[in-house]
Structure 1
Amino acid sequence: MLKKLTKTLCVATACAVVAMPVLAADGPLRGNLRVVIGSSSTGGDTYQNSSIIAEALAENIGINIKVDATGVTEAYKALGRDKRGNTVMIFHDQAYLGNLYGVKGYADPFESYIIGPTVAINPGNAYLVPKNSPYQTIEDIIQACANDTQIRVAIQPGGVSEIGYTALKNAIKVRYPGKEGNLVAVNTGSQSDKNQLLFDGQADLINGSVQANEQYTRLPEDDQKAMRFVWLTARKETIEQAHEEGMGATTRDDLLQFVSPSASVTFDGDKDFTFDKEFFFLYNKDMDPAIIEQIDASLTEIFEAGEIQETQKKSFFIPNFKPSAEAQTYLKDKRDQYEVIIEALQ
C-alpha cells in the first residue's frame, strides 16, 4: 500500500520534479543568500516585490534567502564587499536615475556592478492634485504653465519621483519654449511628506503612487486630504496587464484614463513620454558568473511555471522577467532615453 501511494504521489508531482533546475543541486548557491534592497522600508513596493521573488527563488533552488531593507547606501556597500555571491541586490530604475541626476552615492550601475534580470514593474507611478483643484487633467497643468501660472510640484529629488517632473518640464519646453520655468519643484522626502504639502496647500501637484494614494481619491471633495489622479507615467500596455478590478475603488479602466495617449506628455513633439518603474537584480562586479546563470535558470523556470505572475498581480505588480543578458541591453537603452531629457534641462 505504501509503495502504491508513493508511486501515485510521484506521478502527481512529476511536473514539479522535472521543473526543478539542474543547477539547484549542482550550482554554487548554497546555504544562505542575502538580498539587500535600495529601500529602508519593509512596507514599500521594493520590499514587497523582493519578498515575492525571494520566496520563489528559495523554494526553487532549495536555499534560505533573507530580504534586508538596508537602504541605498548600505545596500551598495554590502554588495561591494561580497564577491562570493552570498549577497545580491534588488532595486529599480533609481539605480541609474540617481546617477544621471548626480545624486551622491549613486555610481553608474552599468560600470560598477553587473545588471541582473528584471522581475517586475510597479505600474503605479502617479501625479495627483487636490480633488478641488481647478486643474482637471495633466493638459490643464501644461496650459497653466504656458499661461505663466506657477505650478508647484512636490517630488523627492534624484530618481523615480523626479523623472516624471523632468518629463513634464521637458514637454512644456517642447510645446511652449521659455515657459518651462513655470513648473517648479518643491523638493521633499517621503511620500507622507509630499502628501502633507498637498494637504497644506504648499504644492499644486505631487508625485505619488496608485498603491499609496488611491485611498485619498475616495474621499469627498470637501475633505482636506482628498486627491485626484491626473497622470500615470506607465505605458498603456503595462496598465492593460493589471487585473480588471485595478486597485481599491479605482478600476483598470479608470487608470487607463491617466496614461498616454489619453493623458499626453510629449517626449519630443512626436511621441509621448512613458516610464515603467522596473525592478531588477544587481550583482558584485567580480561575482562568479555561474551564480548569475543559476539565478537566471531558476527564475526562467519560476516564470514558466506561471504561479508567480498571479502573486505579483494580486499586489499590483506587472510580471516582467528578462534574463540578465537581455535585461542589461534593455535597461541601458532605457537609461539612454531618459538621459536625453535630463541633460536637456540641466
Structure 2
Amino acid sequence: MTLNRRTILAALGTVALAASPLTASGQDLPRNIRMVIGSTSTGGDTYQNSAIVAEALAEHLGVNIKVDPVGTSEGLKALDRDSRGTTIMLHHDQIYLSHVYGVPGNDDPFANYVIGPTVAINPGNAFLVPASSPYQTMEDILAAAEAGTAVRVAIQPGGVSEIGFTAMQNAARVNAPGSEANVVAVNTGSQADKNQAMWDGLADVINGSIQANEQFTQLPADDAKAMRFVWITARPATLEQAPEAGMGDTTRDDFMQFASPATSVTLDGSEDFAFDKEFFLLYNKDMDPALMDTIDAALAEIYAEGSIQQKQAAAFFIPNFQARDAALAHLSAKRDRISGIVDQLKAE
C-alpha cells in the first residue's frame, strides 16, 4: 500500500507538528523510550514489525527506542505506570480481543488507553500442522472432528489465535452440529510456546504466522520440526497486496491456496470467515497529547518518505498507516463487528 506525503499529512487532521508543518521533532520527547509489545517472543511477527517501526521512529526523531517483549499483561501494566511518555506500546488486535473474550485482567483498551496510529497488517496469520500430520487440509481437520476425533489446537487465549480457533469450532458446528466439541483448545503463550506444543506432541494444529513459521515449512519432511500450512486467515484482498515473491521459498500464490476461497472455513454455510491482523500503537491516557502528536506526526512523515514500506513488505507485512483519529474509528468498528461474531458463535 503506497501513500503519498500529501495524503498522509492531510489525514493527520489536527495533529500538531512540533518543529514545522512538514517536520516532527523529538526534542521534547524523552531521550530513551521503551516500546513494550504484547509478546514474549523475539522470533514472532509482533517483534519483527515492532523492530521495524521502532528503528524508523528512533532515527527520525533522534531518540533511543528499545523494543521490550514483555507480553500483553505486563506490557499494559508498564503502560499504566508511565504517563511521562517514556513507555509506549505496540501490539495488535489481541489488545481488544482479550477484552471481548473476557480474559481476566484485560480491561477495555478503548476506555483505558489512547489508541494510536495503525502501522501495518500481517496478512500471514496462519494455522499449521506437523509435516507428518494426516491432515492435509482444513477440510480434513473438520472431517476428523465430525468423525469423533479430538483435534487439539494450540492458541494464545483471548487473541487473534483464539478468534481463528473460534471460527474453526463454528465451522465444525455449521458442517456437523456437535462436532465442535472435538475441536479442542490447547492454551499456550507466544509463538515459541505454540511451536513447542507441536514439537512435544501436545497439539495437532498450531496458530502461527508466515513470518515466524515459513522457515519450518521448508525443512525436510522427516525433520521433527517440519510443518505445513493449512489455513491463512487474512482476507484475500489483503493477501493480494503482499509481495508476489512471498516469504522465504513460498510465493504469494502459494500462500493464496491456504486463504479463502481456496481454503474455506465457513462462517454461516455461505460466507467464509476471514480476519486481518492489524498492528497499532497505544499510549497512556494521561500522556501529554503534544508528545503523542509528535510521535504521530513522525510516523506520518516516515510513511510519506516511503522506505519503511519497503522494509515491511520485505518482512511480508502490508504497510497500513492511519492517523490516530482514523485508527480509533476503524478499530472501534472492527471491535464491534468481531464482538457480534463472537457473541453469535457463543450463542449458537
TM-score, structure 2 normalization: 0.85
| Aligned residue runs from structure 1 range 133-148, under 5 A | 133-148=133-148
Q: Distance in 2 between matches of 1:133 and 1:53?
A: 37
| Aligned residue runs from structure 1 range 243-258, under 5 A | 243-258=243-258
Q: Name the CA shift for 1:83/1:130 in 2 (closer, same or farther; >3 Å).
A: closer
Equivalent position SS for 1:66: strand
Q: Distance in 2 between matches of 1:190 and 1:68?
A: 14
Q: Name the CA shift for 1:195/1:66 in 2 (closer, same or farther; >3 Å).
A: closer
Using the TM superposition, give the Cα deviation of residue 308 of structure 1 relative to its aligned residue in structure 2, in angstroms.
0.7
Larger Cα-atom Rg: 1
Unaligned ranges ≥5, structure 2: 1-18
Using the TM superposition, give the Cα deviation of residue 258 of structure 1 relative to its aligned residue in structure 2, in angstroms.
0.4
Q: Name the CA shift for 1:47/1:25 in 2 (closer, same or farther; >3 Å).
A: same
Between stretches 113-122 and 295-304, larger displacement belongs to 295-304
Using the TM superposition, give the Cα deviation of residue 168 of structure 1 relative to its aligned residue in structure 2, in angstroms.
0.9
Q: Distance in 2 between matches of 1:200 and 1:83?
A: 42
- The one of the two structures with greater contact order (alpha-carbon pairs below 8 A, sep at least 6) is 2
Percent of aligned positions that are identical: 62
Equivalent position SS for 1:345: helix
Q: Distance in 2 between matches of 1:143 and 1:183?
A: 11
Q: Distance in 2 between matches of 1:42 and 1:227?
A: 20
Q: Is the 8 A contact 1:265 1:272 kept in 2?
A: yes
RMSD: 2.4
Q: Is the 8 A contact 2:155 2:188 kept in 1?
A: yes
Query: Does residue 84 of the first structure (1) align with residue 84 of the second (2)?
Result: yes
Equivalent position SS for 2:170: helix
Aligned position for 2:259 = 259
Q: Distance in 2 between matches of 1:193 and 1:132?
A: 20
Using the TM superposition, give the Cα deviation of residue 200 of structure 1 relative to its aligned residue in structure 2, in angstroms.
4.6
Q: Name the CA shift for 1:62/1:157 in 2 (closer, same or farther; >3 Å).
A: same
Q: Is the 8 A contact 1:216 1:227 kept in 2?
A: yes
Aligned position for 1:157 = 157
Using the TM superposition, give the Cα deviation of residue 307 of structure 1 relative to its aligned residue in structure 2, in angstroms.
0.9
Using the TM superposition, give the Cα deviation of residue 128 of structure 1 relative to its aligned residue in structure 2, in angstroms.
1.4
Q: Distance in 1 between matches of 2:282 and 2:317?
A: 20
Aligned position for 2:16 = none
Number of aligned residues: 328
Q: Name the CA shift for 1:45/1:192 in 2 (closer, same or farther; >3 Å).
A: closer
Unaligned ranges ≥5, structure 1: 1-18
Q: Distance in 1 between matches of 2:74 and 2:298?
A: 27
Q: Distance in 2 between matches of 1:115 and 1:154?
A: 29
Query: Does residue 174 of the first structure (1) align with residue 170 of the second (2)?
Result: no
Equivalent position SS for 1:24: coil
Using the TM superposition, give the Cα deviation of residue 270 of structure 1 relative to its aligned residue in structure 2, in angstroms.
3.4
Q: Distance in 2 between matches of 1:287 and 1:215?
A: 40
Q: Distance in 2 between matches of 1:254 and 1:329?
A: 34
